[in-house]
């Protein structure tokens, strides 16, 4: 009911703006209309918590920690429902910026280092979301991955849903800075160098499964996706990567 009222108020304000614009006058109207952010059950949340919920999806926290941090994806990844209360703000910031856990074991998922990739503001929003108890914010869910249109299409969907795009760029073009790493950037998944080093499906699949440790924080490393992505999903990602520019 409340949600309907908001929607009505929003529609009314929008109609007003259209009416004013339609008068043909020379007056510039600069009024912004914002509907409050809500959970799927209509409860209001702050804009910061809403932004954190969207970041949680965009950076694929949800793919390792489960929907709304409820766990159940892999025994190696904890749920996050207690983390908001169990850790201080400073501890949560540090875990997100610097990662956590055994990163050298290629069969064990670890908490990736996000410092070079996620902005301070986004980390604050994520922490606010964790501390608010990970509510179900309207619209904060990954776009569905198509599985019936071939492996490459599925892989393209996974590339976004599992957040590969945040580190390797759209179309695998790279360019995301990783200042303390030897080559100062997160590598592209396209181009001659990439395809000459990763010249078999198996090599590409293996590095996605096992990740790679190129240093300690604050260097971002390739996360371990084994136990998170199924073998079939790994093959779909390989099929997608092989459609990217090779020269």
Q: Which residues contact ligand HEC by CB under 6 A? A: 59-61, 63-65, 76-78, 80, 83, 92, 95-96, 100-101, 109-112, 114, 117, 126, 162-164, 166-168, 178, 186-187, 189, 194, 204, 207-208, 212, 214, 220-223, 225, 228, 237
The SS3 call for residue 229 is strand
Q: Which is nearer to ligand HEC, 111 or 140 (CB)?
A: 111
Q: Which is nearer to ligand HEC, 6 or 195 (CB)?
A: 195
Residue 69 beta carbon to ligand HEC: minimum distance, rounded to whole angstroms: 8
Residue 178 beta carbon to ligand HEC: minimum distance, rounded to whole angstroms: 6
User: What residues form DSSP beta bridges with 20?
Assistant: none
Q: How many Å apart are CA 106 and CA 114, to the nearest integer?
A: 19
Q: Which is nearer to ligand HEC, 6 or 201 (CB)?
A: 201
Q: Which is nearer to ligand HEC, 36 or 78 (CB)?
A: 78
- Would you state the structure tokens that stand for residue 109, as one six-digit string? 């998922």
Residue 220 beta carbon to ligand HEC: minimum distance, rounded to whole angstroms: 5
Q: Which is nearer to ligand HEC, 37 or 208 (CB)?
A: 208
- Residue closest to ligand HEC when measured from CB atoms: 101
Provide Rg for the chain, Cα atoms.
21
Compute φ and ψ for 68, nearest 5 degrees. Answer: 50, 30
- Would you state the structure tokens that stand for residue 17, as one six-digit string? 């703006």
Q: How many Å apart are CA 70 and CA 62, to the nearest integer?
A: 9
Residue 213 beta carbon to ligand HEC: minimum distance, rounded to whole angstroms: 7
| Spatial CB neighbours of 188, under 8 Å, sequence gap ≥ 6 | 168, 169, 172, 173, 174, 175, 194
Q: Is the preceding peptide bond at 218 cis, omega within 30 degrees of 0? A: yes
Residue 236 beta carbon to ligand HEC: minimum distance, rounded to whole angstroms: 10
């Amino acid at each position: 009911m409340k949600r309907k009222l908001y929607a009505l108020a929003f529609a009314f304000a929008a109609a007003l703006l259209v009416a004013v614009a339609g008068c043909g006058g020379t007056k510039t109207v600069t009024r912004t209309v914002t509907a409050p952010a809500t959970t799927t059950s209509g409860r209001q949340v702050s804009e910061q918590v809403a932004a954190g919920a969207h970041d949680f999806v965009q950076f694929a926290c949800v793919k390792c920690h489960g929907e709304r941090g409820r766990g159940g994806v892999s025994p190696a990844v904890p749920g996050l429902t207690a983390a908001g209360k169990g850790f201080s703000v400073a501890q949560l910031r540090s875990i997100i910026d610097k990662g956590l856990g055994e990163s050298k074991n290629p069969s064990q998922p670890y908490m990736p280092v996000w410092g070079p990739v996620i902005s301070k503001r986004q980390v604050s929003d994520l922490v606010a979301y964790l501390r608010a108890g990970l509510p179900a914010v309207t619209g904060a869910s990954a776009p569905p991955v198509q599985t019936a249109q071939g492996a490459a299409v599925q892989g393209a969907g996974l590339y976004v849903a599992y957040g590969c795009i945040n580190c390797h760029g759209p179309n695998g073009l790279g360019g995301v800075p990783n200042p303390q790493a030897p080559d100062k950037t997160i590598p592209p998944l396209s181009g001659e160098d990439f395809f000459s080093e990763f010249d078999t499906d198996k090599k590409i699949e293996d590095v996605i499964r096992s990740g790679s440790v190129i240093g300690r924080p604050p260097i971002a490393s390739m996360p371990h996706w084994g136990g998170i992505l199924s073998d079939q999903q790994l093959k779909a990602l390989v099929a997608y990567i092989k459609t990217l520019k090779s020269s």
